Amino acid sequence: DARVTQTPRDKVTEMGQEVTMRCQPILGHNTVFWYRQTMMQGLELLAYFRNRAPLDDSGMPKDRFSAEMPDATLATLKIQPSEPRDSAVYFCASGSESRNEQFFGPGTRLTVL
């Protein structure tokens, strides 16, 4: 049963530190999404890639957030420097070019103190 994986599952850090979250999409999926979930804002799209190229990162604060796909099996989301308001659960999802469905990873719960 193929699944999206994410690491770390939990991260506690102090304000100002760099945070890197990683995602491995389902093998064969060419589209990767990063979502952030908070109680106040719900689920919101930060950025997404197709065939490793960024298609939309309008939901991402550009001054501190960056997203990349070094290869087809790895997507990263970095925050530098982190702030307490970045505390949230960050989900990665993947999908294919032949179907609409997206499959979510287990999420990274980030706490910035």
Interface positions with other proteins (CB under 8 A) = 29, 31, 33, 42-45, 48, 56, 91, 94-107
Whole-number minimum distance, CB 78 to other proteins, in Å? Answer: 20
Nearer to other proteins, 13 or 103 (CB): 103
Q: What distance in Å separates the CA atoms of residue 93 and residue 23, rounded to the nearest whole number?
A: 8
Nearer to other proteins, 63 or 97 (CB): 97
Contact status, residue 7 vs residue 105, Cβ threshold 8 Å:
no
- In sequence order, what are the beta bridge partners of 13? 112
Whole-number minimum distance, CB 82 to other proteins, in Å? Answer: 22
Whole-number minimum distance, CB 100 to other proteins, in Å? Answer: 5
CB atoms within 10 A of CB 80: 13
Structure tokens at 99: 């179907």
Nearer to other proteins, 15 or 43 (CB): 43
Q: What distance in Å separates the CA atoms of residue 105 and residue 93, rounded to the nearest whole number?
A: 6
